[in-house]
Structures are given as C-alpha cells and as structure tokens.
Amino acid sequence: MKLWGGRFEKATEGLVEEFHSSIRFDQRLYQQDIAGSIAHARMLGSIEVLDAQETTAIIAGLEEILGDIQRGVVEFDVSAEDIHMNVEKLLTERIGEAGKKLHTARSRNDQVALDLRLFLRGEIDQIKDLLQVWIDTLLNLAAEHTETWMPGYTHLQRAQPVTLSHHLLAYVQMFLRDLDRLKDARKRLNVSPLGSGALAATTFPLRREMVAAELAFDGITRNSLDGVSDRDFALDFLAAGSILMMHLSRLCEELVLWSSGEFAFVEMDDGYATGSSIMPQKKNPDVAELVRGKTGRVYGALLGLLTTMKGLPLAYNKDMQEDKEPVFDTVDTVKKSLLVMAPLLRTMRVRKEEMYRAARGGFTNATDLADYLAAKGVPFREAHEIVGRLVLHCTKRQIGLEELSLAEYREISVVFAEDLYQAISIEQCVRRRDIPGGPGPDAVRQAIMQSREELRGLVW
C-alpha cells in the first residue's frame, strides 16, 4: 500500500512504478533526509504536535535507520518511490504509530528542497578544500618557475616572452574566482525551505527558525511557493562548476599541446599518462584529455537543468525530480577532476630548455625592439614598420633578430646602437615587464604572495 494510496482504487502500473521512482539515485540523500527529519521531529515536539515519547521514538528510530543504511543493511523499495518515503516507511515499520506522525506539517516538496540544499552545501565545502589544494599546487609550481622563460601566445602564434610562472598565475586568478563563485553560491543556498509545505506552508505554528538553526542554515526562505519550486541554488552550483571545468579544460588543452613532440614543453609522469595498444612508442596525456572531455557533461548538466526549469509553472512539478542526477554527476566530475589534476601537475616534468628555445625563436622580442626605437624618439608607428622589415629580412635568412650585426641594423636606422642587443635578450624582455600584473620575476613573486593571501581570505 502506497503512503498516498487512500484516493486510489487501482495499483500503479509496473512500468510507471519504475519510471517515476527516484530511489535509484536519490538514496544518495539519505543522510540529509534523516537530518532534516530529526530536526523537524524535534521542532514538532517543541510545539507539542508530538508528545515527548513520540519525539524520542522518532529520533531514535531515524538514528537507527541512518546507522543501518551506513552499514549497508537496508534494502530500498522501488515502490516507495523516493528516499523520503523509503525512510518514512522504514520508520513506521520499526516504531509503529508514532512514525506516521513525522510527516505532519511537511511535504516531500519542501523536504526534497531541503535535502538538496544540505547536500550541495556539504559538497561545496569539500570542493572548496580540493580547490584550495589545487590552487596551492599551481602556486608552488609557479614559485619554482619565475625565471623559466617561455613564449606567450596570441592566435597560438608566438607573441612575446613570459615565464611559466606568469602563465600558471593566470590560472590561479581563474580558480580564485571559481572559489569566490562557489562561496557566493553557498551563501545563497544556505536558507531552509522547511515549512513551505507542499506549496502553501501549513496551519501548524511551526518554528521554522529553530529547524533552520539546528541544520546550520543562515535563515529561512521567504515565500512558500518559491521555497518549493526554486532550484536557482542548484543552477548556481552547476554554473560555477561549468566555469571551473572550462578553466581546467583550457589548462588541459595546453598540457596536451605542450606534451606533443612539436612543443615538447612538458612530459607527464608515467603514473599520469597511458600507452597505446598498438603503437609501442606512444605516451598519451589521457588524463588531461579526459578532464577536457568531461567538461562537456558538466555543461550538459547546466543546460539540462536550465531547460527542465524554463517552462515550469509554480510551484512544485515532478519535472524537478530531474534536478538530482545532473547535480550528482557534476559534483563527482568536478571533485575527481580536481583530485587528479593536482598530482598530475606536481609530478609533471617541465622541459625548461625547450621552453627557452621556443621563446628565443619566433621573434618574440620584436615588440621590444620597436619599443627600443620608440624610447629613443622614433614614433612607434615608424618603429613598428622598421622592425617589421627587419623581421622579414631575418625570416628569409632564417636567423633571429639578435643575430643581425650592428652594421646591418645601422643601415636601416642610425638610431640603433650596441645596447640594442641587451634590449632584445629574452630575459631582459621579461625582466623589464615589471609592473603589477606583468611577467617580470619580481612582479610575479609579488603576485604569488598576493594570491596566497587572497586564497586565505577566500576560504571559509
């Protein structure tokens, strides 16, 4: 017999039972569901909707069920639909009549909203810890490479020299913003919807704030219709997760490129790469590829839930049962990705010489040569033109700007003097870019310190 069976004359079709049941996946919320029920029961006791005996029996029963689920001895029942009714059914089986009173002044609609908020809050806290480790990993590697010269790119064409440290710090900025976004999402989700009932609250004088405080919420939702039908908090999380994955994916794309023979900037540790079943020479950066690939499923989760929500009239609709799987999948994907990326980066071999060689080729010092002329009074547009002609000349001879003789330089402009070679050395090109936010080693060391401080300020 269904918990809601009173007004039905026929049993649910087997096909429908299987189709609409969510216990297969929402059993993941058992802990949150039981914590919510305990808080609800305690509050019902405090307003004497439950007597002391009933309250004690319900709480003890729920704690026992929690223990049994954790020990893996509970079999869930598909015909009890979801985690909420499974727990209630188990409770009534175990403690009898009192169990049937637990659902007073509550609906599965406010219950599921509560469970998902509690779940996401816990997961965001864990992702925060993982992000902290990940950002630390980036910062530690950055600290080692403030003078590891490498080309910076635009259009994937070598542009101006930077350092590996500076490049990594760009990612640090992205992940600090991700942390901030998650913190913000957590703040908005941390209100209790219990008391919203099915949609129109309840006639019982519930102490909503008491339940909220017991469950460590900062407050309560302010409208019962919104309380049961809002999934913004899940979308906030999926959006933050999508952006975070986009950042990981961009880095992974670079690591894949850098692992190629053509770049040869890095080599993955054997523990973080895989081989080919046919080509004996292969060492593939699969882990980075897979993180890049998994970004797609996280975007899918966000787009999926946005689409589920877009046409829903107030308040609860069963469509919203579709919110859980994308949230669970995103939680798992983000956590696993962060977990694997930290040691991958820590163990990766950085091939400084290759990076330096690439930085010296490709005329990454051409801007500095134009700046050299401009500093000596040549209008920049003219300086640009002169250096452009020099680059064309060197390209034809397959040499670098530093290989032209002073005599050759002076044929083109008498402004050139011996100090030009100093101005276009790769090290100098980077060292002199020493303003805040720049790649100069001193500026970068400063930026590392600031980022560490920012990280400390962001975690909770």
Where in the sequence numbering do the catalytic residues fall?
A: 155, 276
What is 278-294 written as a DSSP string? S-TT--B-HHHHHHHHH
Nearer to ligand ARG, 320 or 327 (CB): 320
**113 lies in the site for ligand ARG, by CB under 6 A:** no
**22 lies in the site for ligand ARG, by CB under 6 A:** yes
Rounded distance between C-alpha atoms, residue 59 and residue 215, angstroms: 15
Scan residues 310-339 and list those touching ligand ARG (CB under 6 A): 316, 318, 320-321
Nearer to ligand ARG, 68 or 319 (CB): 319
Shortest CA distance to 263 belongs to which of 272, 255, 271? Answer: 255
Of 6-14, 106-114, 261-269, 348-356, the segment contacting ligand ARG by CB under 6 A is: 106-114
Tell me the residue ranges of DSSP E strands in 335-436.
349-350
- The helix (run of H) or strand (run of E) holding residue 90 is helix 83-95
Note the helical H segments in 145-274: 164-189, 208-214, 224-229, 232-259
**194 lies in the site for ligand ARG, by CB under 6 A:** no
Q: Which two tokens stand for residue 367?
A: 């801007």
Rounded distance between C-alpha atoms, residue 378 and residue 419, angstroms: 16
Q: How far is the CB of 304 from ligand ARG (least distance, A)?
A: 15
Residue of the chain from 32, 37, 86, 109 that contacts ligand ARG (CB under 6 A) = 109
Q: How far is the CB of 328 from ligand ARG (least distance, A)?
A: 12
Q: Which two tokens stand for residue 272?
A: 């973080």
Nearer to ligand ARG, 26 or 54 (CB): 26
∠ CA 174-178-179, rounded to 5°: 120
Q: How far is the CB of 314 from ligand ARG (least distance, A)?
A: 14
Residue of the chain from 33, 50, 76, 82 that contacts ligand ARG (CB under 6 A) = 82
Residue of the chain from 57, 69, 112, 287 that contacts ligand ARG (CB under 6 A) = 112
Rounded distance between C-alpha atoms, residue 349 and residue 267, angstroms: 5
Nearer to ligand ARG, 143 or 199 (CB): 199
* Site size toward ligand ARG, by CB under 6 A: 10
Q: How far is the CB of 109 from ligand ARG (least distance, A)?
A: 5
Q: Which two tokens stand for residue 248?
A: 């990981």
Phi, psi of 130 (to 5 degrees): -65, -40
Residue of the chain from 42, 89, 103, 108 that contacts ligand ARG (CB under 6 A) = 108
Scan residues 198-237 and list those touching ligand ARG (CB under 6 A): none
Bridge partners (DSSP) of residue 266 are 350
Binding site for ligand ARG (CB under 6 A): 22, 26, 82, 108-109, 112, 316, 318, 320-321
